[in-house]
Amino acid sequence: MGRYVLRRLVMLPPLLVAGAALVFFMLRVVPGDPVRAALGTEATEEEVEALRQALGWNDPLPVQFVRWLGDLARGDLGESLVSRQSVSGQLAERLPPTVEVLVLAMLLSTTLGVSFGVISAVYRNSFLDHLVRIGSVAALSVPAFFALTLLIVLPSQWWNYVPPLTYEPIWEDPVTNLRMFVPPVLILSVEMSASLMRYTRSVSLDVLQQDYIRTARAKGLRERKVVINHMLKNTSIPVVTILGARFAGLLGGTVILEQVMSIQGIGQFAYQSVKSKDYSVVQSLTVYFGLLVILSHLIVDISYAMLDPRIRYR
Amino acid sequence: MARLVSEFPLGVAGAVVILVIIAVAVLAPVLAPHSPTATSFAPLEGPNARNLLGTDRTGRDVLSRTIWGSRTSLMVGLVAAVLGTGAATTMGLISGYFQRWPDHLIQRGSEVVAMIPDLILLFMIVLAFGPGVWTVIAALSFGGAFAGVRVVRAGVLAEKNKDYVEAAKALGAGNGRVIFRHILPNIASLVVIQATIRLPAVILAEASLSFLGLGIPPPHPSWGADLGGPARTYFRSQPYIVLAPGLALSLTVLAVSLLGDAIRDGLDPRLRSRANR
């Protein structure tokens, strides 16, 4: 197990460098001069040239890439071309709202998705099962930005209720904070729990066919015990896999939700930076996201072994 | 036909809705009362006899834009889903059949692409090649190619050691013949399933990109674009501006998903029993 984790961790840097290289060179293909855009139309040719020189952008691309990698290895993420502030400082500022949305959405959707999936499987072909299944397909079909728009606009039409649009950290003003975060968290959770529910249901149905479930029932265990003690743990292994994969998807989902709610989080940061070709920000964010994605896959693989002692890694 | 309805009621319902949407898309020039792009009316008018769903902020007919928007959604969705799945199949066949270095190259490549969040990857492709219908299609196909390659590869790996492949090789069939005449038909249902999963995802992705202003460029009608940007300011006074494209988009994705589920259940006998039990 230890060796397996070690080997996976050794693979991490090359993967990150390859991803970083892909983004680095793709960004340079994007037409338009970000320096000129950042300085505005007033700037003279000399000023633009001076900034390019100062940033080291007149060097050959491979030289720039290696220099950037060196900075990255020392923990220096560079500074944003647009705001002229350090990328790590901005990341620290924008991380809390995004993390809050992601954590709340993960918690809520796992609870909803797994419970409804299990209920749907245990009472299969009942009215409840059909309702939950149709509901899940419908929930996956409504685009997040449309659902969120409705969720904000309809209450304002009917009850004149508008969620706050300025961010207050949860440790300073929990009520305002939650009022702002409830709509995006709800939308993200409903969408995610729908796919999680479908998956949990089909896995649970497979588990319920197994011999050990029949044995448990034959022993005279109550159905509640069969489901909780014998079915749930065996259902959890495949479900954990999809959780890891979903986490990566959630990161993308926050871009749209933060845009709709004007939350100044990581998603907005990524969107604005790609749009303004803020090289150092996009590159840092990619490596950062990549690290999160790879680590979440690793945690998933490790949790398999913990949930199922039969799985061994070499 | 009656058996089809009783076995897959939701799938048949989805198929009927899709047929209607396809008809609307094909007949858009006849059905739409006005031009989708001409700013020929007063802006932000409520529903009236001439503009059944009112007009948007530049004085375009909302109903006509919603009708024409079906073309964009279906066209981008179908082409990108087919191209993406096609590329995934080609790469999966090469990767699974030849293994060794082509396999390593494709697998490590897809890991690197998977590292970058989908939307950011799409942003960069669209910005690199400039906004436009074909850029959006290319970007979505690229994403789909890497999303499906692992599944196809796994299917190829399962098939390639079976006896019928050995038999074909023993009869002197070349690699091309083994791949296309023997393995491909046996993983065809897998490929179709991939495409049915991909189609609703692609339609939603196009709408999301257009919503963020990085997809179909204005004034081309797109449901996603009509939901985003400045239109949002007028939702309170003119709800139809957002409701019409939003509902059309949701209905299309719902119908495509229901049909996809039914096709999946029908193609996979293991799933068929699962769906019914």
B218 found inside a domain: yes
Quickly state the pLDDT bin for A230 (edges 50, 70, 90): confident
Q: What is the DSSP letter of A86?
A: B
CB B217 within 8 A of CB B132: yes
pLDDT at B57 over 80: no
Instruction: Tally the domains of chain A.
Output: 1
What is the total count of domains within chain B?
A: 1
Structural domain boundaries enclosing B83: 2-29+64-275
Name the E strands within B115-262: none
Taking each helix axis from N to C end, the angle separating B240-267 and A144-159, rounded to the nearest 10 degrees, works out to 140
One-letter amino acid for residue B138 of the chain:
A
Chain A hits for B114, CB-CB cut-off 8 Å, are 248, 293
Closest CA to B84 of B128, B180, B157, B149: B149
End-to-end CA distance of chain B: 22
Whether A308 is in a domain gets the answer no
Q: Under an 8 A CB cutoff, do B128 and A29 touch?
A: yes
Looking at residue B128, its pLDDT comes to 79
For B213, nearest residue in chain A (alpha carbons)? A275
Residues ≥6 apart with Cβ < 8 Å to B13:
B255, B258
| CATH code where residue B154 lies | 1.10.3720.10
| pLDDT tens sequence across B176-230 | 888 888 888 888 888 888 888 889 989 988 988 888 888 888 788 888 888 877 6
pLDDT confidence band for B277 (50 / 70 / 90)? very low
Does residue B229 form part of some domain?
A: yes
**Is residue B54 included in any domain, yes or no?**
no
Mean residue pLDDT across chain A? 79
Please give, rounded to a whole number of angstroms, the shortest distance from the CA of A160 to a CA of chain B.
11
Q: Residue B130 in 3-state DSSP? A: coil
Domain membership flag for residue A136: yes
Point out which residues pair with A86 in neighbouring strands. A79
Distance between CA atoms of B182 and B162, rounded to whole angstroms? 11
Q: Which of residues 39-58 of B touch A (CB under 8 A)?
A: none
The CATH number for A245's domain is 1.10.3720.10
**Is the pLDDT at B14 greater than 80, yes or no?**
yes
Interface A-B: count of C-beta contacts within 8 A: 129
Structure tokens at B202: 């692609």
Is the minimum CB–CB distance between A298 and chain B shorter than 8 Å? Answer: no
**Its pTM surpasses 0.90:** no
Of B112, B200, B235, the CB nearest to A149: B235
Q: Does any domain span residue A1? A: no
Domain carrying residue A235: 93-275
Q: Is residue B240 part of a domain?
A: yes
Q: Which of A29-33, A272-276, B273-277 has the lowest mean pLDDT?
A: B273-277
**Does residue B183 belong to any structural domain of this protein?**
yes
* Averaged pLDDT for residues A249-255: 75
In the predicted model, is pLDDT for residue B120 greater than 70?
yes
A101 within domain boundaries: yes
The pLDDT tens digits for B78-102 are 999 999 999 999 998 988 888 788 8
User: In chain A, what residues touch B128 (CB-CB under 8 Å)?
Assistant: 26, 29-31
